[in-house]
Amino acid sequence: MKVQHNCPYCMQEQFKNSKSNFILTKVETKILDDSRIHYITCKKNHEYAVVISAAKYELLFDIGLTAFTDGYM
């Protein structure tokens, strides 16, 4: 399963450097495995963790729906 996420440290840096009320950040894609905690390093070498709070059967259902919409039976 693929999850899109933003680096919180990159977002914080952009807010500090920006004079605007909104920012545009690059969304990165991470392929998830069976673990619920995923340690990620962004392109600027910021390290952070993404915790998936969904139950395993919910993740399996999501993966199944994604496969179905991609055309895999």
Residue 51: Cβ within 10 Å count: 8
Six-digit token string for 35: 């673990």
pLDDT band at 67 (very low <50, low <70, confident <90, very high): confident
pLDDT in the model for residue 25 = 66
Tens of pLDDT, residue by residue over 22-64, are 666 666 777 767 777 888 888 888 898 888 787 778 878 888 8
Please name the helix (run of DSSP H) or strand (run of DSSP E) that holds residue 59, with its range, or none: helix 56-70
CB-CB contact of 27 with 6 (8 Å): yes
Q: How far, in Å, CA of 4 to CA of 39, rounded?
A: 14
More confident residue, 68 or 36: 68
pLDDT in the model for residue 1 = 62
